[in-house]
Amino acid sequence: MLATAVAALSFAAPPAARLGTRRAVGTMRDWGVEAGRLDDAEAQDLLDEAQAESSEGALYCLNVKLCIKPEVREEFLDCIRANQRGTLSSAEPLAVTYVFGEDESTPNTFHFFEQYRGVEGFEAHTKSAHFADWETFAATEPFTEPPVVSFYTEDAPGRAGLAPASAGPLFCLHVALHVKPERRNAFLDAMRGDQEGALTTEPACASYLFGEDANEPNTFHMYEAYAYGRAGFEAHAKSESYAAWSAFKQTDPFSRPATVSYFTLFDAPPPPPPRIADAERLTFTNEVSGGGEAMGDAPAGFVWGGVF
């Protein structure tokens, strides 16, 4: 059914970046319902089948930090966009996601999030012509400090948030957490609880995933993405699941301080209205778009730069 339904919709559906089966089909589903081509039951069947297909294995992920010399910024952006286009083209069938944005507090520092179907997908990426072009550029000493690349496999495969795939600009976080070995299991329970809440109850959450570093046991990397800018993440920081996660953080589970980076994805389309029930939309709009007294309110103890 999945291939048939997607084929039936794709001739008229609006274009969307290739962010993996579950995200692309989410866009098709939303568009199909609005256009009257799918009823609610058909749309859910389509999404369920896409989720089943995409959950066949956890994806191999990279969080990358690049600090670029100001004088080569435009050349860097041209090169990296060409690499992005090549990665997400038919030339790399095992590539799923390749997005990037500039650090919100440090100009010319860029954060990347990449996903591949297994280590094989990433290895194939490094053998491509567009990656060779990137390597040529990287050899010209464009960096102000050495690149930081973290490899990990996502903990829970096939997960996507409620935010429509076309929503943007997406406000993102990269987080590195260093967990005491004896607190590992409690940490995983707390993290999975916050992840479940974010992905299943928050209209602004587009992505929330984490996994253990491929080379450093008990170091975990996170990637979170929220629609509607900072306000989408602020709504997450007011949620019940985040309150439980915040309480866990107060129990001294970490061996050293976390590293947190905030950035907004480049080249993101403007956000459409949230596709949620009217009552939820009213509440959510008040929280994230400035309606009533909820505008910009942060929960007690909420400090930008230390929240994740």
CATH no. for residue 80?
A: 3.30.70.100
CB contact set of 171 (below 8 Å; sequence gap of 6+): 225, 226, 227, 228, 229, 230, 232, 233, 262, 263, 264
Q: Is residue 115 part of a domain?
A: yes
What pLDDT is recorded for position 45?
58
Residues 168 and 274 in one domain: yes
Instruction: Give burial (CB, 10 Å; 0-12/13-18/19+) of 166.
Output: buried
Work out the average pLDDT over 30-56. 50
User: Are residue 147 and residue 179 in the same domain, yes or no?
Assistant: no
Same domain, residue pair 148 and 165? no
Domain count, the chain: 3
Whether 276 and 168 map to the same domain: the answer is yes
Specify whether 35 is located in the same domain as 119.
no
Q: Are residues 225 and 244 in the same domain?
A: yes
> Domain for residue 293, yes or no?
no
Query: What pTM value is reported for the model?
Result: 0.73
Domain that residue 207 falls in? 160-285
Mean pLDDT of 256-280: 66
Beta-carbon contacts of residue 282 (< 8 Å; ≥ 6 apart): 291
Q: Is the pLDDT of residue 110 over 80?
A: yes
How do residues 7-36 score in pLDDT, each as one tens digit? 222 222 223 333 443 444 444 344 344 445
Is the confidence at residue 192, as pLDDT, over 50? yes
Rounded distance between C-alpha atoms, residue 41 and residue 237, angstroms = 32
The average confidence (pLDDT) of the chain is: 77
**C-alpha angle 154-155-157 in degrees, rounded to nearest 5:** 70
Place of tokens 């794709």: 10
The reply to whether 146 and 168 lie within a common domain is no
pLDDT per residue as tens digits for the range 201-252: 999 999 999 999 999 999 999 999 999 888 999 999 999 999 999 999 999 9
Q: Per-residue pLDDT for 128 more than 70?
A: yes
Distance between CA atoms of residues 282 and 132, nearest Å: 49
Report residue 164's pLDDT band, with 50, 70 and 90 as the boundaries.
confident
Question: Do 37 and 118 fall within a single domain?
Answer: no
Residues 75 and 137 in one domain: yes
- Name which of 167, 194, 85, 169 is nearest 129 in CA terms: 85
pLDDT given at position 39: 57
- Residue at which a domain ends, from 152, 168, 189: 152
The whole-number average pLDDT for the span 107-124 is 97
Regarding whether 121 and 47 lie in a shared domain, the answer is: no
Does one domain contain both 245 and 261?
yes
Same domain, 127 and 52: no
**What's residue 57's pLDDT?**
81
pLDDT > 70? residue 262: yes
**What average pLDDT does range 1-7 have in this prediction?**
31
In this structure, what token pair is assigned to residue 267?
């080249």
